[in-house]
Amino acid sequence: MKECNQCGKCCTKYGGDGLSVSDEEIQLWETFRPDLVEYVQDGGIWTDPATGKQLDRCPWLRKTPNKEIYTCDIYMDRPDDCKFYPVTITQMVEDKCEMLEVQDLTDTKRAQDKLNKIMVDSRPPYVL
């Protein structure tokens, strides 16, 4: 498995209405990041504060000019859904994650173990 190359596939796919946020996260944002709370409506995230309509993508995702690299303006305060991604090798395959290598597809147990090690600081391990 390769290191993340910031291709943005995960953020562009799940950056609209595919994410949720917990009440605890909202409370933290209300205290420390009121700019984020502006984009929360009825427990859903990334709605336009002016219109209340769901955005197609995360408002905090930035594409580096002239490159296919994406960065997150709220990386340290991003939702748990973002912190936990990716959870499974299957999910990475479906999303065409560029971290995957051929050997990850032939030995998914080994690949999942490696992914769990990579994500140890973000989420509990996933067991196949």
Backbone angles phi and psi of 5, in degrees to 5: -105, 10
pTM for this prediction: 0.81
Unique residue bearing structure tokens 């490159």: 67
Q: Which pLDDT value is given to residue 53?
A: 92
Q: Residue 38 above 90 pLDDT?
A: yes
The chain-wide mean pLDDT, for the chain, equals 90
CA dist 49 and 20 (Å) reads 17
Structure tokens of 26?
């909202």
pLDDT at res. 13: 80
The answer to whether 71 and 62 have CB atoms below 8 angstroms apart is yes
Residue 101: band (very low, low, confident or very high) from pLDDT cuts 50, 70, 90: very high
pLDDT at residue 17 is higher than 80: no
Joined together, the tokens standing for residue 83 give 């912190």
pLDDT at residue 18 tops 90: no
Whether 19 shows a pLDDT value over 90: the answer reads no
Cα separation, 114 vs 103, whole angstroms: 12
Q: How far is CA 55 from CA 38, 42, 96, in A?
A: 13, 14, 23
What local confidence, expressed as pLDDT, does residue 109 receive? Answer: 93
